[in-house]
Every structure is written in structure tokens, then in C-alpha cells.
Amino acid sequence: MEQRSNMDSLARLQTAQVTRGVRRWFAAAGQVSLPEFGLPDGRRADVLALDTAGWITLVEVKVSIADFRGDRKWPGYAAYCDRFCFAVPEDFPQELIAPECGLIVADGFDAVLLRPPPEHRLAPPRRKALVLEFGRVAAQRLHLLEDEGEASGWRSAAAI
């Protein structure tokens, strides 16, 4: 039991490091991003990024083979982005990532795009809804940071 707990802790740490590296990479490219972004269908994107042209990139972080193989929901993410990528640590077997997906290798400090994702434009109404939700969520998170975690008045603290 303790060994599994240690493995879970290590996976959470590695996921946080890969997420941090991906977000730093987006920031260096002039894009803004949010981790754990709630999608309209109830799922969560590990990272959702927005560039200056309004293009949306969704990134799914995978740090282990078991996590990757156990997750079959990722094909549905295309409905919520213009570009879809997996982000993995350097030691992840990259051949597991489908060629129709972008591939990012990241650590806690930076990331490298090894394979650009194919682009498919979102429909304008979906894009507008996602960009508005991105701004709303970002503003809520900033407010909570500045107001010492006060969450009263928000529709749901879990949604933030």
C-alpha cells in the first residue's frame, strides 16, 4: 500500500513538472495558458493555451505507459481545440503517441515541440464560448489568489 502511494506521489510530481515546463514554453512563445481547464462536457484539459490569434491548443499530459493506455478519452478533445498535443517526459516511449497528435517533451523547466499537431479550425461559436470561458476562469483564479482564497459567490469553487 505504501509503495503504491509513493508511486502515485511520484506520478503527481512528474505530471506537475511536465505541466510547468509546457506552460513555460507557451509563455515564452507569447501564449497564455491555464492548467486543469474544465471543458463543457465535464472533462478537464491538463493545459489549455490561447495564442494572440485566438487559436486554442489543448495539451494532455502523460507520464507513464499505464496512464496513457488507460486513457481513451483523448480523441474527443479535438472538439475543443484547434490543435491537440500530448506532453510527456523525456523517458516516455514516444512511439506510443499517435501520429495524428502533436508531441511535446517537457520537464519542470521547459518543453520542446517534437511533432507539430495538425490544425483543424474550431467553429466560430465554439471558439467564442471557449475563449470567453478561458477569460472568466483566469479572472476567477486571479481573484481567488488576491482575495486569500475567498470563493463565495462563484458558481462552484470546483469549477475554478
Give every CB contact of residue 60 below 8 A, 6+ residues apart in sequence.
Answer: 45, 46, 71, 74, 77, 84, 85, 86, 87
Q: Which CATH number fits domain 2-122: 3.40.50, 3.40.1350, 1.10.287, 3.30.1490?
A: 3.40.1350
Q: What is the pLDDT of residues 41-67, one digit of tens each?
A: 999 999 999 999 999 999 999 999 998
Domain positions in the chain: 2-122
Return the pLDDT at 74: 87
Mean pLDDT to the nearest integer, 127-146 = 95
pLDDT of 157 reads 45
The answer to whether the Cα torsion of 70, 71, 73, 74 is positive or negative is negative
**Mean of the per-residue pLDDT values of the chain:** 90
Single-letter residue type at 131: V
Q: How far apart are CA 84 and CA 63, in angstroms?
A: 17
pLDDT single digits (tens) 92-134: 999 999 999 999 999 999 999 999 999 999 999 999 999 999 9
Q: Between these two residues, 21 and 1, which has the higher pLDDT value?
A: 21
